[in-house]
Homo-oligomer: A and B are copies of this chain.
Amino acid sequence: MSKAAQTASDIRRFNRFYLPFFHLLTQKYLNSEYSVAEARILYEIYDYGKISARDIVKTLCIDKGYLSRMLKKFEAGGIVKREESGKDSRLSEISLTAKGKSLTERLAAESNLQVEKELAGISDDDLEKLSCHMAEIIKILGGGRDGDH
């Protein structure tokens, strides 16, 4: 068995433990009234400030029709706003309203709290190690850009 095959097996074992541990297999986002897909879209817009639907489709790999409807719903709810892009009138610049920003921040905070709950009983020392191991994994797999919220 190759090293890569062995590692793949280890990774899958990790996934089988890790995903259910943090409830990462559900479709509702936490206790909230939003789906995971919706939350991801909100985070994406939050991260970029201004972004086109096209780019959301690309980075999140979701159907453009599906996204279109969600954005419509968000707009109706006063969560996102759209302005025509000056250059290309097909594109719209999507951004969060003040309400949308605070909603997204609230969701992030709740998500953090939810994760925090699972960490109860773990020593500060081990928590530190946890962070390090994760950072190392990201480094090895080639990540490490993008900010947090």
Contacts and interface: CB of A to CB of B under 8 A. Distances in A.
Interface of A: 3-19, 21-22, 24-26, 36, 40, 43, 61, 108, 111-113, 115-116, 118-120, 122, 124, 126-131, 133-138, 140-141, 143-144, 146, 148
- A contacts with B: majority SS: helix
Contacts of A118: 141
A12 B30 CA distance: 13
A124 B2 CA distance: 9
A148 to B, nearest CB: 5
A36 B24 CA distance: 12
Contacts of A5: 112, 116
B11 A134 contact: yes
A130 B19 contact: no
Contact of A9 (B3, B128, B138, B148): B148
B127 A3 contact: yes
A118 B126 CA distance: 29
A135 B133 CA distance: 10
| Among all A-B residue pairs, the 7 with the closest Cβ atoms | A14-B134, A8-B115, A133-B133, A10-B131, A7-B127, A8-B116, A3-B124
